[in-house]
Structure formats: C-alpha cells, structure tokens
Chains A and B, each alone.
Chain A
Amino acid sequence: MALIRDRHGLAALFIMPAVFILIMSLALADSLSGQASLAYVVLNLDDTPVSHALDARLGNVDLLKKSVSPVDEEDARQRVRAGEIAFAVVIPQGFAHQIESNQTPGLRFLADPAVPSMVRNGFRQHVEAVATRVWLTDVLERFGVSKMLPELRQATEHIGSPEIAIEAVSSQGNEAAVAVLPSSVQQTVPAWLIFSMFFVVIPISAVFIGERQRGTLQRLHAQRVPFRLVLAGKFVPFVAVNQIQAVAMVAVGRWLVPLFGGEALTLPGNAAALAALLMLSLAVSVAAVGWALFIASLARSSEQATILGGVGNILMGAIGGIMVPRFVMPASMQAWTQLSPMNWALEGFHQIMLRQGSIADVLPAVCTLGCFGLAALAATAFLNRCTAST
C-alpha cells in the first residue's frame, strides 16, 4: 500500500524504465533490423573497368549505406568531417595496373575517428573480401580457363588481400597533425565523463532542497542576502567539484584502465588543444550545474529531484548518443540528438580527443553549452522568485 501511494517510487519503477525502453528501442531499431543508417562513399581515381567493378560491388553492408560519390578527395574529407559519412574508400590511380602486374593492390580509407573500431574493422573486412573477389575475377578473365594451368596458378598465388591504409580524418586546419585512429578508451571515456558530470544534479538538489525545507533560504532572504549570491554560493563550488570529477575520470582512463590491460587514454599533446579541452570541460560544468540548480528549484523534495534529474539525465544520454552511438540511430532520431546538451558536449570532446580539433572547432559546443547553463540559471532565478512570492 505504501508503495502504491509513493508516486516517486512508482515513477522510478515504471515510468523511467518504460521511457528508457522506448528510446533505446527506437534508437536501436535500424541496427537491429539491419537497415543502414551510416553512410560511406567510394572515390574512384583509377577509372578502369577493374576499379569500376570494385565500386559497383561495394553495396550496402550492415549499418553502412553507399552514398553519392564525392567529386574529389577534398570533398570526401569535408563530408567525413561534417559527420555526413563514416568512411570514404579511395581507389587510387594505378589500382588496376597493380593487379595486372601481379602486385598487391592498395586502397585507402578516410575514416571518421568517432566511428567505433568494431564498425571500422567490420567494414574493412567487407571491402577486403569484395576487392579480393574483383582481383580474382580479373585474373580469371585475363587468363581464361583455356590458358595453361601453371600460368594461372602462378598468377593466383599472388592473390591475398589488398593493402588498405586507413587514415583518420582530423578537424579542418589540422591536416598536418598525425591522425591516429582512436582506441575504444578514447571513444568511451568522453561519453561516460559527460554522463557522470551531469549527475551533479543529485548532490546539488539534496543541498538546495534541504535549505528550502529547513527554512535556511527564507532566513537568508529575510537577511536581505541577494538570491544571486545564494545561487553563486552553489554554482561556483559545484563547478569546481565538477571539474575535479572530470580530472578524476580522465585520470582513470589515463592510468587506471592500462593497469587492467586496456589502452591508456591519450590527451591532446599541444597547449592549444589542452586549452580547448579545459574550455569545453568548463562549459559542460556550467551546463550540468545550471541544469542541476534548475531541477532542484523545480522539485519539491529530494526524491522528486532524484527522479526528475535521474530520468532527465538518462533521457539526455540516450538521445544524445552517450548510450547508443548517434550513427546507429535511425535518421529521424539522429535529428533529436541535437536537442541533448550531452550530445553537444560529446561532439565537442570528439573534436578534441578524436579529431585533434582546436579551440575554434569546440567553440560552437562551448557556446551552446554555456547558453544552456545560463538559461537554466535564469530559469532557476525566476522559479525562486515565484516561490518567494507565493
């Protein structure tokens, strides 16, 4: 009976998982049904029957859909940078000649570093298999079944797999930087770091609601302490705590994960990128603490704040590509990711940690997160003004 009357408990038990199931099911709908939601392109610089055959045979595969070919390599790079496509397969000039002269042919991938290595390797194997078939077909066609068997054997002995060089496409203006394909640690740490930073909502709401329920806020108001000072008294320390949390999480990826056999998190090596990382981290804290104060002002009890904040964070994480990578989602749902502050933060972290981005590359994320945090603070001030006068 007590549970039936506990609306917050019921919400945690039923509404939160129901919403979570709904969002996760929609997010994974395409990946589980085999429909493609991630795109790749082929740039054929060879323009020979063999390269055209390879181009034609590379169709849709698993999550990857073949998109319209780029005009040139720069166009392909731009599309990778923009997140429009995950890979560009470049068939270099001389590809057919390498096959005809019994050399191992080479291909190049331009890859988005944000795409998980699992997907990248799967696609690479697919391309290898198709290229090998094209290579074999070409050999058989050239020699024909009527040719002498020893010559045919000699030619086919060279057939292995084409050499595929994968190049991570870094941010604009940083092409000179050595683009290293990221490890899974590099891809997962930012996502869970952002997620954990937004959970500052739990301690903030406990403090803020406690103050309101005990009458401490009323006492401060009666003492003519401006609300902006009360707000600053929460905002500044919690942003600092949030930053310490971020440093601790990065330290886990950098030093603890390798102790358990994982790869170490790699931090940007230059001062400008580190400054960009710091700026972004601060912007995430501003957004997370602003959001937490807003939830604490909206909720009437700590239980309510836990539900509102917890569900809100999980929804933002699910929609924002924290739990399910954005590219796995159906196209219609990918548009929703833009609504989640966690997605703005994730895009910013990917720019720095995966694409060697600069301050200019993270500015959009920093600005949107900052504006979100300030809007949440303004709403907090408004809500508390309303509370004071009712």
Chain B
Amino acid sequence: MIRLDNLRYRYRPGVPLALDGVSVSIARGSIHGLLGPNGAGKTTLISLLAGLLVPQEGCIVVDGEPLNDWRAARLNAIALVPQDYAFYPMLTVAENLAFFAGVQGLPRRERQCQCAKALAFSRLETVANQRAGELSGGLRRRLNLAVGLTGEPEILLLDEPTVGVDSQSRRFLLEAVRQFAATGRTVLYTSHYMEEVEAVCTDVSIIDHGKVLLAGSAAEVKCGRTLEQVFMELTGHSLRD
C-alpha cells in the first residue's frame, strides 16, 4: 500500500498551493489513474512520489515505511516515465537501454538480461540498432516505456504515456501496462484520455486545484456514468489554460 497523507506543496511563496492536503491510498498491484485538468497538481504529485520534490507538509508511506526509508533499501524500486521522450536521440535503442540500466548500478549480466527483457516486452528488437531520434512516434513511446522498465521497478509512474501515438500503438501500450501490473507491481497513470483510463485503471483519483475531489475504485468513481461525465461534473466546463 502506498499512502499519501495530507500532502502540501507550494513552489514559491505567494503562489497558490500546488497540492493542498492531498490524501490518497494506492493499492499494491493496482493501476491507479490520476485525473485532473491542466494545473490540477498531477505532475507535482508524481514528482513527490518520484523523489524529485520533497513534501513541505504531510508524508508518503510505502508498505508502512516512509518513502525515503523504503527507497533506501530499493534504489531502483520507482521508475518515472515522463511525458517527453526522456532518452538520448543520438544513441540507438539498445544503447539507450544499456545506458539507463548501467547508471542504476546493475551488474553487467543482469543489465544485459534486463535490457533484453525490456526490448522484448516493448517489441523493439527489430529496431534495437536504430538511432532513437530516427524512430516513429509510436516506437519512441515504446522506448520511453522500455527505459522505465530496465530496473524492474516495483512502482511505475507514467505521465501521459500515450500522447501523440496512433490507435495501434496506444492499444499496445495499454496492454503492456496491464501486463506489468499483472505481475503484482503498481502503476500510477496520468492521462487526459478518459476512455484510456476507463480501459486500463483499476482505481481512479480526480484532483483539481491541489485537492482530491474523488477517489476510489473505477466502478465506485463512475457510479453508472462515464468517467468523462464524472470528471466534467467535478472540475467544471471552464477553460483552464
């Protein structure tokens, strides 16, 4: 169980709180959808979980231990897959995987094994020796995910992993996420595509203005309606950007 307890975070004095008392529980082995309009606080929440930011108030507890203590014994336990193509375009697919596995301090044999597994999982074997910058959008998305899998993380943080890909690639990525969670590992999934979240997530939290508006299992949150209807009802129709 990952428990976010009364998290508060403000980027600078004088600006509104990015997170204002967020409390959410994420079950291990679940795919937890995090929904919210632009500026709702999703990225801040993911950054706190990834350790990029430190909570100013509140705490994050994983399996009963504070996040930092829990991570101290499991260096590669959390992986972040950012929305951008966070790899090196001048390197080949295989070189990228080897690099990211290498910086995690994995032994040579394990590194090779994990790179091969990530390649196979993402079905990138045929383009392993192609430069990442030359790949199509769908292949880049798959590589972005594959890089996140190299350390065999227990918790995967996916920030809009299907932006800009065709239907076939989206379907493949969603299936990959399901397979990953089926092994008992946890996924926190943010997306603006409601149908995607409905299709893949077991639990959902809707946040806005730094507060959790609704959280629960997908069925509880929808309560007979579509996720989009619930989302619009809670966050309103006004433009945010």
Q: Which residues of A contact B83 (CB under 8 A)?
A: 215
- Nearest residue (CB) in B for A230 is B103
Interface string of A217-238 (1 = CB under 8 A from B): 0111111110001000100000
Closest beta carbon of chain A to B20's beta carbon, Å: 18
Check if A214 is an interface residue, CB within 8 A of chain B.
Answer: yes
Check if B6 is an interface residue, CB within 8 A of chain A.
Answer: no
With contacts A224-B71, A224-B75 taken as known, whether A218 is within 8 angstroms of B103 at the C-beta atoms is no
Q: Name, among A213, A215, A220, the residue most crowded by chain B CB atoms within 10 Å (CB to CB).
A: A215
> Once the chains bind, are B103 and A390 in contact (CB under 8 Å)?
no
Check if B147 is an interface residue, CB within 8 A of chain A.
Answer: yes
Q: Which residues of B contact A98 (CB under 8 A)?
A: none
- Nearest residue (CB) in A for B96 is A216
> Once the chains bind, are A219 and B53 in contact (CB under 8 Å)?
no
Interface string of A253-269 (1 = CB under 8 A from B): 00000000000000000
Which of B26-34, B85-93, B170-178, B179-187 forms part of the interface with chain A?
A: B85-93
Q: How far is the CA of A216 from the CA of B87 in the complex (A)?
A: 6
Check if A389 is an interface residue, CB within 8 A of chain B.
Answer: yes
Q: How far is the CA of A154 from the CA of B233 in the complex (A)?
A: 118
Q: Is the interface of B mostly helix, strand, loop or mixed?
A: loop
Check if B76 is an interface residue, CB within 8 A of chain A.
Answer: yes
Closest beta carbon of chain B to A237's beta carbon, Å: 13
> Once the chains bind, are A218 and B52 in contact (CB under 8 Å)?
yes
Closest beta carbon of chain A to B53's beta carbon, Å: 7
> Once the chains bind, are B53 and A218 in contact (CB under 8 Å)?
no
Q: How far is the CA of A222 from the CA of B151 in the complex (A)?
A: 12
The count of residues in chain A whose C-beta lies closer than 8 Å to any C-beta of chain B is 17
The count of residues in chain B whose C-beta lies closer than 8 Å to any C-beta of chain A is 29
Check if B70 is an interface residue, CB within 8 A of chain A.
Answer: no
Q: How far is the CA of A213 from the CA of B86 in the complex (A)?
A: 9
Q: Which residues of A contact B75 (CB under 8 A)?
A: 223-224
> Once the chains bind, are A214 and B103 in contact (CB under 8 Å)?
no
Check if B80 is an interface residue, CB within 8 A of chain A.
Answer: yes
Check if A388 is an interface residue, CB within 8 A of chain B.
Answer: yes
With contacts A223-B103, A223-B151, A388-B52 taken as known, whether A218 is within 8 angstroms of B71 at the C-beta atoms is no
Check if B12 is an interface residue, CB within 8 A of chain A.
Answer: yes
Residue of B78, B103, B151 touching A229 (CB-CB under 8 A): B103
Q: Which residues of B contact A225 (CB under 8 A)?
A: 103-104
Check if B82 is an interface residue, CB within 8 A of chain A.
Answer: yes
Closest beta carbon of chain B to A214's beta carbon, Å: 5
> Once the chains bind, are B86 and A214 in contact (CB under 8 Å)?
yes
- Nearest residue (CB) in A for B105 is A225
With contacts A222-B52, A222-B157, A389-B54 taken as known, whether A214 is within 8 angstroms of B78 at the C-beta atoms is no
Q: How far is the CA of A225 from the CA of B52 in the complex (A)?
A: 11
Closest beta carbon of chain A to B137's beta carbon, Å: 14
With contacts A221-B52, A222-B50, A223-B100 taken as known, whether A390 is within 8 angstroms of B82 at the C-beta atoms is no
> Once the chains bind, are B82 and A219 in contact (CB under 8 Å)?
yes
Q: How far is the CA of A237 from the CA of B50 in the complex (A)?
A: 29
Q: Name, among A216, A223, A225, A388, the residue most crowded by chain B CB atoms within 10 Å (CB to CB).
A: A223
> Once the chains bind, are A222 and B84 in contact (CB under 8 Å)?
no
Check if B193 is an interface residue, CB within 8 A of chain A.
Answer: no
Check if B201 is an interface residue, CB within 8 A of chain A.
Answer: no
- From 37 to 73 in chain B, residues with beta carbon under 8 angstroms from any chain A beta carbon are 47, 50-54, 71
> Once the chains bind, are A216 and B50 in contact (CB under 8 Å)?
no
Closest beta carbon of chain A to B119's beta carbon, Å: 18
> Once the chains bind, are B12 and A390 in contact (CB under 8 Å)?
yes
> Once the chains bind, are B103 and A221 in contact (CB under 8 Å)?
no
- Nearest residue (CB) in B for A223 is B104
Interface string of B7-21 (1 = CB under 8 A from A): 000011000000000
Q: Which residues of B contact A223 (CB under 8 A)?
A: 75-76, 79-80, 100, 103-104, 151
Q: Name, among A214, A229, A233, the residue most crowded by chain B CB atoms within 10 Å (CB to CB).
A: A214
Closest beta carbon of chain A to B218's beta carbon, Å: 26
With contacts A214-B86, A390-B12 taken as known, whether A219 is within 8 angstroms of B80 at the C-beta atoms is yes
Q: Which residues of B contact A215 (CB under 8 A)?
A: 82-84, 86
Q: How far is the CA of A221 from the CA of B83 in the complex (A)?
A: 15
Q: How far is the CA of A246 from the CA of B67 in the complex (A)?
A: 48
> Once the chains bind, are B53 and A389 in contact (CB under 8 Å)?
yes
- Nearest residue (CB) in B for A220 is B103
Closest beta carbon of chain B to A219's beta carbon, Å: 4
Q: Which residues of B contact A222 (CB under 8 A)?
A: 50-52, 78-80, 157
- Nearest residue (CB) in A for B81 is A219
For the complex of A and B, list the 7 residue pairs with the smallest distance between their C-beta atoms, beginning with the closest: A215-B82, A222-B80, A222-B50, A215-B86, A215-B84, A219-B86, A216-B86
Residues of chain B having any CB pair with chain A under 8 Å = 11-12, 47, 50-54, 71, 75-76, 78-88, 100, 103-104, 147-148, 151, 157
Knowing that A215-B84, A219-B86, A224-B104 touch, tell me 11 more A-B residue pairs with CB under 8 angstroms. Answer: A214-B84, A214-B86, A215-B86, A216-B87, A218-B82, A218-B86, A219-B80, A221-B51, A222-B80, A223-B79, A223-B104
A-B contact pairs, 6 of them (CB 8 A): A215-B82, A218-B50, A219-B147, A220-B103, A221-B51, A225-B104
Residues of chain A having any CB pair with chain B under 8 Å = 213-216, 218-225, 229, 233, 388-390
